[in-house]
């Protein structure tokens, strides 16, 4: 008899959902993945998380986790073969994630959708976002990753948002004076687990055969 799986509602291009999928991949946990169309959110997801944002993880015991950072930490607390939840770096990681989610994401959204926010120019929004990029560049000057020589939860938590920033204007991003950050992002985009996290799946519909992730 097949054991029941935890269920993840996700959207491929959402950086928060990328964060959650990467957490599950690094934890080597399998879930049932339901790809969501944000313009037509499935009722089962809204029933367990009325705020209607992805990712949402529904555990087999009925517990619902609907914040990406919480899903990442939960996954690695179940299984952490690479030691990403390093105790000595925990507070540093949390501080960086808070800066990413509370400050950088604000300017990222305005840079990406500058036409919706005419108070400033797109270039101005980009420069505001670069304050965080400069902090990341500083951290990567002497280390391969944000908190040291190896991947940590900070890298997993921040990378999808830097990727989104870069994709607003890729040529511009790679002209900016952040060679270490650019190297870091390029390496991440080629990482096998990130490639796996970004596999395209059809939108889930009621009655579909369960899709196991990772496959």
Please tell me what DSSP assigns to residue 148: B
Beta bridge partners of 9: 34, 56
- Containing domain of residue 48, as a range? 6-81+195-213
Tokens 């790679």 locate to 174
- Is residue 203 within 8 A of residue 54, CB to CB? The reply is no
Sign of the C-alpha dihedral, residues 167, 53, 214, 24? positive
pLDDT at residue number 1: 45
Q: Are 125 and 47 found together in one domain?
A: no
pLDDT at residue number 129: 98
Q: How many domains does the chain have?
A: 2
Q: In which residue ranges of the chain is pLDDT below 70?
A: 1-2, 87
- Is residue 120 within 8 A of residue 110, CB to CB? The reply is yes
Q: Are 207 and 175 found together in one domain?
A: no
* pLDDT one-digit tens code per residue, 2-21: 689 999 999 999 999 999 99
- Is residue 8 within 8 A of residue 18, CB to CB? The reply is no
Q: Are 48 and 137 found together in one domain?
A: no
Distance (Å, rounded) from C-alpha 56 to C-alpha 34?
A: 10
Whether residue 1 lies inside any domain: the answer is no
The pTM score is 0.96
Q: Are 56 and 96 found together in one domain?
A: no
């Amino acid at each position: 008899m097949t054991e029941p799986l935890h269920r993840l509602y996700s959207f491929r291009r959402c950086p928060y959902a990328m964060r959650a999928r990467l957490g599950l991949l690094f934890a080597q946990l399998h879930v049932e993945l339901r790809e969501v169309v944000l313009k037509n959110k499935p009722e089962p997801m809204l029933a367990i998380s009325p705020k209607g944002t992805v990712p949402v993880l529904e555990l087999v015991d009925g517990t619902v986790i609907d914040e990406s950072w919480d899903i990442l930490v939960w996954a690695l607390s179940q299984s952490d073969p690479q030691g990403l939840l390093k105790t000595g770096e925990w507070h540093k990681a949390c501080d960086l994630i808070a800066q990413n989610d509370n400050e950088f994401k604000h300017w990222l959204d305005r840079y990406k959708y500058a036409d919706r926010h005419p108070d400033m120019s797109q270039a101005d929004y980009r420069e505001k976002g670069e304050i965080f990029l400069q902090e990341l560049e500083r951290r990567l000057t002497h280390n391969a990753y944000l908190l040291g020589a190896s991947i940590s939860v900070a890298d997993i938590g921040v990378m999808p948002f830097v990727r989104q920033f870069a994709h607003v204007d890729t040529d511009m991003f790679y002209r900016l004076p952040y060679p270490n950050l650019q190297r870091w992002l390029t390496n991440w985009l080629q990482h096998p687990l990130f490639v796996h996290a970004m596999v395209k799946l059809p939108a889930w519909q009621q009655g579909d055969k369960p899709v196991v992730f990772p496959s």
